[in-house]
Amino acid sequence: MYQAPAVSARRYFLDGLAQGELRYQFDPVSGKAVFFPREVAPSGRLGGLEWRVSKGRGVIYSFTEVFRRDEMYNVVLVDLDEGFRVMSTIPGAQPRSLRIGQAVQAGFDVCAGEQRLVFEVLS
Partner 1 sequence: MSGLPALAPDSSPLDAMAMACAEALADCHLGKDDIDGVFAAGLQLFMPTLSLCEYLDLHPRYTDSTQIGGGAFLAQLNHAQAAIAAGLCEVALVAYGSTQRSAAKQFSSHSETNPYEDPYRFPGPAGGYALMAHRHMHEFGTTRVQMAEVAVSARKWAQLNPLAPDRSALTIDDVLDARPVCSPFTVRDCCLVTDGGGAVIVASAKRARQYKDRAVYILGAGEAVSHRSVSQMPDLATTVARESAMRAFSQSGLRPGDVDVAQLYDAFTIMPIMFAEDLGFCGKGEGGAFLAGGRSAPGGDFPMNTSGGGLSFGHPGMFGIYTIIESVQQLRGECGARQVENAHVGLAHAPGGYMSSQSTVIFGTASAL
Q: Provide the binding-site residues for partner 1, judged by CB under 8 A.
A: 1-2, 4-11, 14, 36, 38-40, 42-46, 61-67, 73, 75, 77, 85-89, 100-101, 111-112, 114, 116
d(CA 74, CA 84): 20
Nearer to partner 1 among residue 7 and residue 70 (C-beta): 7
Minimum CB separation from partner 1 for residue 36, in Å?
5
Strands (E) in 1-123, as ranges, are 23-27, 32-34, 50-53, 57-67, 72-80, 85-88, 103-111, 114-121
With left for phi above 0 and alpha for psi between -120 and 50, is residue 96 left, alpha or beta?
left
Minimum CB separation from partner 1 for residue 56, in Å?
16
Nearer to partner 1 among residue 39 and residue 57 (C-beta): 39
Minimum CB separation from partner 1 for residue 55, in Å?
19
Nearer to partner 1 among residue 97 and residue 105 (C-beta): 97
Nearer to partner 1 among residue 62 and residue 105 (C-beta): 62
Minimum CB separation from partner 1 for residue 35, in Å?
8
Asked if residues 78 and 61 have their Cβ atoms less than 8 Å apart, the reply is yes
Instruction: Give the strand pairing for 23-27 and 50-53.
Output: antiparallel
